[in-house]
């Protein structure tokens, strides 16, 4: 496994429309493993293949739910951010039935580091996709999983979360990103 470089705005490859996956082979398994390792290292909860320069319709998502600990008698927890991992792979995903109800979620993106903005999306969706073996799946999703899947699917069409913002808000986010990059350099 390897940690891959993540493309960041304004890299023009992020605007690429990704191609469907037709071959489910060892190279695909390696790419998926590398994508998970890259996402966890970043750290993030979702990553599209195009974000690591591969224009294929592949997404990895892991919402990584924090583990709740019951501490009696004033004990202190020695665990570093213990989480329950639930890695999920979505290949050639489609949204079949978006709800009319909308949610607003403060989204961020590994390709737009340390920047967040409110994006409105359908609150629930029915999604269809293939797993890493090519098997077809279909599921109703809501909440953060629905938002994350829609966000990552946007990448497959060359769309970033900042493309959902007004021109003024998008310019403000990009200005803050440039400031962040200067301070981090």
**Secondary structure of residue 24 in the 3-state scheme:** coil
User: Number of folded domains in the chain?
Assistant: 1
**Domain for residue 30, yes or no?**
yes
**Domain for residue 7, yes or no?**
no
Q: What DSSP letter does each residue of 29-97 carry, written as one string?
A: HHHHHHHHHHHHHTT-SEEEGGGGT--BSEEEE---EEPP----TTPPP--SS-EE---EEEEEEEE--
**Domain for residue 2, yes or no?**
no
Of 60, 59, 58, 62, the residue nearest 86 (C-alpha):
62
The token pair at 84 is 């329950």
From the candidates 19, 114, 142, 152, which is the catalytic residue?
152
**Domain for residue 178, yes or no?**
yes
The CATH number that applies at residue 133 is 3.90.45.10
Looking at residue 65, its pLDDT comes to: 73
Predicted model pTM: 0.90
Q: Roughly how many angstroms between the first and final C-alpha of the chain, as a whole number?
A: 28
Cα gap 94→128, rounded to integer Å: 5
Per-residue pLDDT of the chain (185 residues), as tens digits, is: 799 999 999 999 999 999 999 999 999 999 999 999 999 999 999 999 999 999 999 999 999 876 665 544 444 444 455 778 999 999 999 999 999 999 999 999 999 999 999 999 999 999 999 999 999 999 999 999 999 999 999 999 999 999 999 999 999 999 999 999 999 98
**Domain for residue 85, yes or no?**
yes
**Domain for residue 18, yes or no?**
yes
Looking at residue 81, its pLDDT comes to: 58
Looking at residue 80, its pLDDT comes to: 54
**Domain for residue 34, yes or no?**
yes
**Domain for residue 5, yes or no?**
no
Q: Is 152 considered catalytic here?
A: yes
Paired with 119 in beta bridges are: 105
Domain ranges, residue 117: 12-67+77-184
């Amino acid at each position: 496994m390897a940690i891959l470089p993540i493309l960041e705005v304004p890299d023009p490859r992020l605007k690429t429309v990704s191609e469907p996956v037709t071959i489910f082979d060892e190279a695909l398994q390696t790419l998926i493993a590398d994508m998970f390792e890259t996402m966890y290292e970043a750290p993030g909860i979702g990553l599209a293949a195009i974000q690591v320069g591969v224009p294929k319709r592949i997404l990895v998502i892991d919402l990584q739910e924090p583990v709740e600990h019951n501490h009696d008698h004033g004990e202190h927890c020695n665990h570093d951010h213990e989480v329950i991992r639930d890695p999920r792979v979505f290949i050639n995903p489609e949204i079949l039935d978006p709800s009319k109800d909308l949610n607003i979620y403060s989204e961020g993106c590994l390709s737009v580091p340390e920047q967040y903005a409110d994006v409105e999306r359908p609150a629930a969706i029915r999604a269809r996709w293939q797993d890493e073996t090519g098997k077809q799946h279909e599921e109703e999703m809501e909440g953060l999983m629905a938002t994350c899947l829609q966000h990552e699917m946007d990448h497959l069409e060359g769309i970033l979360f900042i493309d959902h913002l007004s021109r003024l808000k998008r310019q403000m986010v990009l200005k803050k990103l440039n400031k962040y990059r200067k301070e981090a350099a």
